[in-house]
Structure 1
Amino acid sequence: MTTISQTAGRSLRPSSMSGFFTALTHSVSALFNRLERRSAVKTLNELDDRALRDIGITRSQIEDAVYGQFKTELSRYL
């Protein structure tokens, strides 16, 4: 007697599609984060030096502050 498996007709690739959508979601999220950070850098660059001083950064520290590389320095003053 011959036994037919029910899994024989199923595709073995559902996890690869899941991986594709996960990668796509991460890519879109990274793109939006990048655009948001670029907007923040632009906004901070439009401020005058006095306003930046009030925030606690200098003009040369804007990108570091926006991209998170300045967090440890800022936490000392807070």
Structure 2
Amino acid sequence: MTTISQTAGRTLRPTSSSGFFSALALRVTALFDRLERRSAVRTLNELDDRALRDIGITRSQIEDAVYGQFKAELSRYL
């Protein structure tokens, strides 16, 4: 006896809402990342120069360190 599935002739297409929710999730994630990085920059700017020197950065390198550009520069020297 042969069994035929009812979904055999249907095509699977994504619903329009799934694209909307994935785009929304990406934007919310990007927003939280940006807020977290801004908070880190603000916190590092509140430190004095000696504390920044202990961390291994100068005041002019704070944003590069937070946004990841400083790491790429350091890897060239290591």
Letter in 2 for 1:41: V
> What is the total number of aligned residue pairs between the two structures?
69
Does the Cα contact within 8 Å between 1:56 and 1:74 map onto a contact in 2? Answer: no
Letter in 1 for 2:19: G
**Whole-Å separation in 2 of the counterparts to 1:27 and 1:34:** 10
Aligned to 1:64: 64
State whether structure 2 residue 25 is matched by structure 1 residue 22.
Answer: no
The change in CA–CA distance for 1:49 and 1:71 in structure 2 (over 3 A counts) is same
The percent identity for this pair of structures is: 85
Alignment gaps of 5+ in structure 1: 1-5, 7-11
CA displacement at 1:75 relative to structure 2: 4.2
1:1-78 correspondence to structure 2 within 5 Å: 14-75=14-75
CA displacement at 1:73 relative to structure 2: 2.9
Q: TM-score, normalised by structure 2?
A: 0.75
Q: TM-score, normalised by structure 1?
A: 0.75
Alignment gaps of 5+ in structure 2: 1-5, 7-11
SS at match of 2:57: coil
